[in-house]
Chains A and B, each alone.
Chain A
Amino acid sequence: MLSSYMDHVLTMAGINAIGAWAVGIAIRSGQLSVGHAALAGIAGYSAGLITRDGGSFWLAVIVAVVVAAVTGAVLSALTQRLDHLFFALATLIFGEIAAIVATDTERLGGAAGLASIPFETTLTMVVVTLVIIVLVEVFVIRGSRAEVQMQLLAHNPSLVDLSGSSARRQKVVYFTLSAAAVGLAGAFHAHEFGVVQPRDLEFAPSLDLVVYAVVGGAHSGYGPIVGAIALTVGTEFIDIPGITRPVLFGAILLGVLLVRDRGIFARVPLRLGEGRGVTRSPDSAGSVSA
C-alpha cells in the first residue's frame, strides 16, 4: 500500500495531468488559455455546493463538468474575434473576474473559500480517467480528422475556412471539450482538498497548467500528461533553498522552450502541406509564425 502522503502526491499529479491535457487541447487548437484554473475552480465550487450538503458525488462531478463546459463554450464563443494573443489576455481577465466574484460572494465562503467538502477523490478515479484520456488520444485522436483540424486551427485557421467549415465554430468545440476536461479536474481537486478557494481560480494556478502542457509538449496528446506528472512529483521532492516553485517553473519553462520549443516529450507533428507554407522545415515543424 502507498502511504497516504504518496497517495496524495500521485492523486495531485493525476489531477494536474488531466488539467494539463485540457490546456493542451486548447493550445493544440490555437487557443492559449491562461484562465483554465478559473474554469476548474468554477467546476469545483459547483461540485462542492452539491456534495457539501450531502448530494451525490457523481452527480456533483457531472454538474461540474457541464458547468465548466458551458462556461468555456460561452467564454470561447464571445472571444473568437480576438487575435490569439488577445484571446489569451481575455482568458486571463476572465480568471481575475471569477476570482474577485468568488471572493465577494458570501455564499461561496468569501476569501476563505468553500470549506467542508467531503474527501471523495481517490487515486483510482484519477488513474482511470487518465487511462481513458490516453486511450482516446491513441485510438480516437491520433491520425484522425480531429488531429489535422486542430493543427490547422493552430497554425493556419484560414485553410479551415477555405475548406468550407468555420474555424471559429471548430475552435469553440475544442475549447468546450477542453473546459469540460478541466472541469473534471476541478471537481476532483475540490474533493481531494476538501476546500475551494478564490486563489485556486487566479492566474498562478492557470499558468502552472500552461507550464505543464508546454514543457511536456503541447502539440502531442501525452506531452502535457507526462509534463504534469513529472513536474508535480519532481517539485514535491526537489527542494532548493531560496528557489520557490514559481521561480523553478519559470526557469524550467524558459529553459525547455529555448532548447526544444515543442516541449520535451512531443513527437514531431504531422507534416501538413509541406512546402506550401504550412510547415517550414523539419526542425520548425508545427511552429509557423502567424
Chain B
Amino acid sequence: MSENVPSFTRVIQAIVDGLMAGSLYALVAVAFSILWASVRTVNLGLLQVSAMGGIIAYSLSANGAVVAILGGVTAAGVVGLLIHFVAIKPFLKKWALLPIVASLGAGLLVRGAVILLFGEQSKRMPQLVPTGTWEMSGVFIRRTGVVVLVVALAFVLVGLYLTARTRIGLAFRASSWNADIAGAYGVDTERVRVGSAFAAAVAVGLAGVLAGVLAGSVHPYMGEDNGLKGLVAMLLGGAGNLPGALLAGLLVGMLESGAGMFISGALKNVVSYGLLFLVMVVKPSGLLKER
C-alpha cells in the first residue's frame, strides 16, 4: 500500500481485510464459545483439528470444491468427537486443568497423524472458489475473501439462529444456564454436550478449510494462529456468549489489520497479541456482558 493513497481509503481497506480474517476468528470463537457454554472447558486439540480440516480439504480438492469442503469439515467433526470422548469427557468431573492438558496431548497426536499422512511441508491449495480482485475507488476486495466471509458468517448466523429460535437451541441454552435443572426438566444434557462438541469441531474444521482457501496454502501448523486469536476473541466476547464471540472475532480481525496497516507490518502479530493480552488483563470478563 503506497503512502499517497488517501488515509480514508486505507481505513476502508483495513476494515475489508480485517473482516475477511476476522470472520475466521469469529468462526473459531463461536466454536469455542459453544463448547464453553455446554461442556465448560476448552478443547485445545481443536487447533490441530482445524489444520487437519484444511489439509483434508486440500487432499480432496481434485474432486471439486463441495466434496473438498464437506470432506474436510466432516473429518474435523468426527475427530473432534473422538477427542471429546477420549480426552475431555473422562476428565470433566475431575480437576478442571486435566481436560485442557489431555486435549493438548490429543492435539499432538492429531498433528502427528496429519504429518505422517500428508507430510510436514506447506502445500499450495488449489483454487476451490473464484479468484480475482474487485476494485472500488481504490479499495481492493479479493473475491476469495468475500466467499470466505460469506461462508463463515452464514455458518455462524445459522448457528445463532439455531440456538436462539429452535427447540434444540432451547435445550442448549437451558443446559448452558444450569445443566442440573435442565436435566430435571427432561433435557438430555449428555446429548447436548456431545452435539456441542461435534458442532464446535465442525466449525473449527470449516475455519481450517477457509483459512487454507484464503491463504492459498495449507500446512500442519496453520491451526495455531487462527485458533489462538479465535480463543481470545471468545474470551473478549464473554465466554459462552455466541453473538459476543462473533462480534469480538470480527473486531480482532479489524484491529489486527488496522495495526498492520497503520503501525507496523512487521510487528502486526506482536500488536495483535499484545492488544489481546492487554484486554485479557484489563477486562477478563469480556467486552460484552455474559448472558
Contact = CB atoms under 8 A, between A and B. Distances in A.
A256 to B, nearest CB: 9
Interface in A263-277: none
B104 A207 contact: yes
A88 B44 CA distance: 11
A261 B157 CA distance: 39
A211 B105 contact: yes
Interface residues of B, number: 44
A283 to B, nearest CB: 10
A81 B113 CA distance: 37
Contacts, number: 130
Contacts of A286: 95
A79 B94 contact: no
A211 B90 CA distance: 18
Task: Point out which of A78, A84, A85, A287 has the most chain B C-beta atoms below 10 A from its C-beta.
Answer: A85
B277 A97 contact: yes
B41 interface: yes
A27 B113 CA distance: 29
Interface in A231-282: 242-244, 246-247, 249-251, 253-254, 257-258, 261
Contact of A284 (B42, B94, B116, B270): B94
B252 to A, nearest CB: 12
Nearest to A250: B108
Interface in B145-167: none
A250 B266 contact: no
Contacts of B224: 203
Contacts of A92: 228
B281 A79 contact: yes
Contacts of A78: 281
B115 interface: yes
Nearest to B83: A254
B63 to A, nearest CB: 27
B273 interface: yes
Interface in B111-137: 111-113, 115-116
B42 A85 contact: yes
Given A84-B96, A85-B100, A90 B280 contact: yes
Contacts of B93: 284, 289
Given A288-B95, A289-B94, A90 B277 contact: yes
B201 interface: no
Contacts of B267: 104
Contacts of A49: none
Interface in B32-69: 41-42
Q: How large is the interface on A (under 10, 10 to 19, 20 to 34, 35 or more residues)?
A: 35 or more
Interface string A120-140: 000000000000000000000
B273 A93 contact: yes
A288 B96 CA distance: 8
B281 to A, nearest CB: 5
A154 B224 CA distance: 28
Contacts of A249: 105, 108
Given A97-B274, A97-B277, A257 B98 contact: yes
A152 interface: no
Interface in B259-291: 266-267, 269-270, 273-274, 276-277, 280-281, 284
Interface in A56-97: 78-79, 81-86, 88-90, 92-94, 96-97
B101 interface: yes
Contacts of A32: 97, 100-101
B231 interface: yes
Contacts of B280: 79, 82, 86, 89-90, 93
Contacts of B108: 207, 246-247, 249-250, 253
A257 B228 contact: no
A173 B94 CA distance: 26
B212 interface: no
Given A81-B284, A97-B270, A251-B109, A89 B101 contact: no
6 contacts: A97-B273, A101-B270, A104-B270, A210-B104, A254-B109, A257-B102
Interface of B: 41-42, 86-87, 90-98, 100-102, 104-109, 111-113, 115-116, 224, 228, 231-232, 235, 239, 266-267, 269-270, 273-274, 276-277, 280-281, 284
Given A104-B266, A250-B106, 19 more contacts: A32-B100, A88-B100, A90-B280, A92-B228, A96-B269, A104-B270, A210-B101, A210-B104, A244-B112, A249-B105, A250-B104, A250-B108, A253-B101, A257-B98, A258-B90, A261-B94, A284-B93, A287-B95, A290-B96
